[in-house]
């Protein structure tokens, strides 16, 4: 998809202009203030349109994302973008009617027979800032939740995936009214202007550094934010778990999208003395899954030159500081095509940049631990990660890791799979993020839970009216006894 459809280019040109999206926001905001109620049928129609947008244009999205990356495995895009996007919409369509229903709550004893309820109401206009690494799924999944909750949605796409953004902007005008869904394109300056809009809620997916900036910008309007950030997600291999089996799941999880995933294993903790055995097992996995890594269409490119050079600088810095670099493939690095073969790093130290920054690429530091206590302590001595992976069959060790560490989410004996569960919340903790979405958690995030109390005709509240006398004193003493 080297040539851009003129109609798509026109949509992009229009969407990029700050004045245009500010006007679009104002129109959306005004529409939400005319009435707060959004009927179930309207929400259903919007979800149906979102499903059709993705389903009917899957091949176009595959081509656009591949063009943005220079090369992205078509199979990975179908598996990691199209499938979860459609699955999120399907799950939401099947359940949002129940999520919308008022929830009856037991009133406090002293206020019976009154009734208490929670009404789920739309917030208004929701902003979604989408990263470049999964530009379709990380737009569509939160959109499904926001639309199900009855909101109107503005989406800011990443400037690093222009073709995907241009395609989504064009399709949004075909499948939605501009007062319901609007897609904004443009560079970081446009992104900053977008974040400063007085949204009723803003969801940002991206780096912790930019997350700080987004939160500051949103604070000017007291806009509540959900931040899906990142960090260094560890994988711990327990002493009882087969090394080869763990290596397979870790390496495959690491190398999906060439490691450009916020929940990819960032480093591995292995029992001391087994580091080289893990590297050998990892090398065998790469040979099996990507036998001709230099030329296979199943291995993705690094998104742009800047990120390719960043990853190379991590390797250079680690080598200079004494780390041992272990290639996991015989394929050479190819800067022209931005294909970076996977590398394991042994003997790494905390002073190395590869151990300070989120890697976001196919580099895998391997660290030894003497006892499980030491592995847990190492994880806890660093910022709380977005994900954690534990490999072990001993339930006692497993439960210790689950209870004694804090992470956004955990998959046991595999990687990634907790994020694929629509009935589980997805979100970070501390520097890896705040707030949750997916499934009902997304619906709640993008809803106002309005507390309502219905007073009964038979009630004793008049007993507490002034002027206060002896009866009030007796009642007060009874209540605060």
Are 223 and 239 part of one and the same domain? no
- Domain for residue 243, yes or no? yes
- The CATH number covering residue 283 comes to 3.40.309.10
Q: How far apart are CA 167 and CA 102, in angstroms?
A: 38
- For residue range 179-228, list pLDDT tens digits in order: 999 999 999 999 999 999 999 999 999 999 999 999 999 999 999 999 99
Are 288 and 337 part of one and the same domain? yes
**Which residue pairs from 25-28 have beta carbons closer than 8 angstroms and sit at least 24 positions apart in sequence?**
25/125, 25/154, 25/182, 25/197, 25/199, 27/178, 27/179, 28/125, 28/152, 28/154, 28/179, 28/180, 28/182
- For residue range 117-151, list pLDDT tens digits in order: 999 999 999 999 999 999 999 999 999 999 999 99
- For residue range 298-355, list pLDDT tens digits in order: 999 999 999 999 999 999 999 999 999 999 999 999 999 999 999 999 999 999 999 9
Are 36 and 173 part of one and the same domain? yes
pLDDT of residue 19: 63
- Domain for residue 200, yes or no? yes
Total count of domains within the chain = 2
pLDDT of residue 463: 85
pLDDT of residue 276: 98
Are 209 and 260 part of one and the same domain? no
- Domain for residue 463, yes or no? no
Q: What is the overall mean pLDDT for the chain?
A: 94
Are 414 and 437 part of one and the same domain? no
- The CATH number covering residue 188 comes to 3.40.605.10
Range 55-76 average pLDDT:
97
- For residue range 231-256, list pLDDT tens digits in order: 999 999 999 999 999 999 999 999 99
Range 48-70 average pLDDT:
98
Tell me how far the alpha carbon of residue 225 is from its chain's centroid: 13
- CB 201, CB 226: distance < 8 Å: yes
pLDDT of residue 153: 98
- CB 158, CB 207: distance < 8 Å: no
408 pLDDT tier (thresholds 50, 70, 90): very high
- Domain for residue 459, yes or no? no
Are 146 and 20 part of one and the same domain? yes
pLDDT of residue 1: 35
Are 185 and 62 part of one and the same domain? yes
pLDDT of residue 252: 98
- For residue range 81-121, list pLDDT tens digits in order: 999 999 999 999 999 999 999 999 999 988 999 999 999 99
- Domain for residue 477, yes or no? no
The proportion of the chain whose per-residue pLDDT surpasses 90, expressed as a percent, equals 91
- Domain for residue 318, yes or no? yes
- Domain for residue 214, yes or no? yes
**Which residue pairs from 44-48 have beta carbons closer than 8 angstroms and sit at least 24 positions apart in sequence?**
44/93, 46/147, 46/176, 46/180, 46/181, 47/89, 47/92, 47/93, 47/96, 47/144, 47/147, 47/148, 48/93
Widest distance between CA atoms in the chain: 91
Q: How far apart are CA 398 and CA 381, in angstroms?
A: 19
Are 225 and 239 part of one and the same domain? no
Are 217 and 349 part of one and the same domain? no
18 pLDDT tier (thresholds 50, 70, 90): low
- For residue range 378-394, list pLDDT tens digits in order: 999 999 999 999 999 99
Are 10 and 150 part of one and the same domain? yes
15 pLDDT tier (thresholds 50, 70, 90): very low
Domain residue limits at 339: 234-423
Active site residue ranges: 228, 262
Are 67 and 82 part of one and the same domain? yes
Token pair for 56: 């009917």
Mean pLDDT: which of 8-17, 202-211, 468-477 is highest?
202-211
37: number of CA atoms within 13 Å, CB side? 4
Are 172 and 37 part of one and the same domain? yes
- Domain for residue 456, yes or no? no
């Amino acid at each position: 998809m080297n040539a851009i459809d003129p109609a798509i280019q026109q949509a992009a040109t229009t969407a990029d202009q700050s004045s245009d999206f500010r006007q679009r926001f104002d129109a959306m905001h005004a529409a939400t203030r005319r009435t707060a109620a959004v009927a179930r049928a309207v929400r259903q129609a919007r979800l149906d349109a979102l499903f059709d947008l993705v389903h009917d244009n899957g091949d176009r999205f595959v081509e656009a994302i591949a063009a943005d990356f220079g090369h992205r495995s078509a199979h990975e895009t179908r598996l990691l973008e199209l499938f979860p996007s459609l699955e999120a919409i399907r799950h939401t369509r099947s359940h949002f009617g129940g999520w919308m229903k008022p929830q009856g709550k037991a009133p406090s004893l002293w206020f019976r027979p009154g009734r208490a309820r929670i009404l789920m109401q739309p917030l208004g206009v929701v902003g979604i800032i989408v990263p470049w690494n999964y530009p379709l799924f990380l737009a569509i999944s939160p959109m499904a939740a926001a639309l199900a909750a009855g909101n109107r949605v503005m989406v800011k796409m990443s400037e690093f995936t222009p073709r995907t953004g241009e395609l989504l902007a064009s399709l949004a005008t075909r499948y939605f009214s501009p007062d319901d869904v609007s897609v904004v394109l443009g560079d970081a300056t446009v992104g900053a202007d977008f974040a400063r809009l007085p949204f009723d809620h803003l969801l940002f997916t991206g780096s912790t550094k930019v997350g700080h900036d987004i939160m500051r910008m949103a604070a000017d309007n007291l806009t509540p934010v959900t931040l899906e950030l990142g960090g260094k997600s560890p994988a711990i291999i327990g002493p009882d778990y087969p090394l080869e089996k763990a290596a397979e799941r870790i390496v495959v999880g690491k190398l999906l999208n060439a490691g450009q995933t916020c929940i990819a294993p960032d480093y591995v903790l292995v029992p001391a003395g087994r580091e080289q055995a893990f590297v050998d097992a990892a090398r065998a996995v790469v040979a099996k899954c990507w036998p001709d890594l230099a030329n296979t269409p199943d291995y993705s490119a690094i998104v742009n030159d800047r990120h390719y050079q960043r990853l190379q600088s991590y390797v250079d810095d680690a080598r200079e500081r004494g780390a041992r670099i272990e290639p996991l493939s015989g394929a050479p690095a190819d800067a022209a095509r931005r294909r970076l073969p996977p590398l394991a790093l042994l003997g790494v130290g905390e002073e190395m940049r590869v151990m300070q920054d989120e890697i976001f690429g196919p580099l895998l530091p391997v660290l030894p631990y003497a006892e499980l206590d030491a592995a847990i302590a190492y994880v806890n001595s660093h910022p709380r990660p977005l994900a954690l992976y534990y490999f072990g069959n001993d339930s006692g060790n497993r439960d210790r890791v689950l209870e004694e560490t804090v992470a956004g989410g955990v998959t046991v004996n595999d990687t990634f799979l907790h994020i694929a569960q629509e009935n589980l919340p997805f979100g970070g903790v501390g520097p890896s993020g705040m707030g949750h979405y997916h499934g009902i958690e997304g619906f709640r995030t993008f809803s106002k839970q309005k507390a309502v109390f219905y007073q009964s005709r038979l009630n004793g509240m008049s007993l507490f009216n002034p002027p206060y006398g002896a009866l009030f004193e007796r009642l007060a003493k009874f209540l605060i006894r």
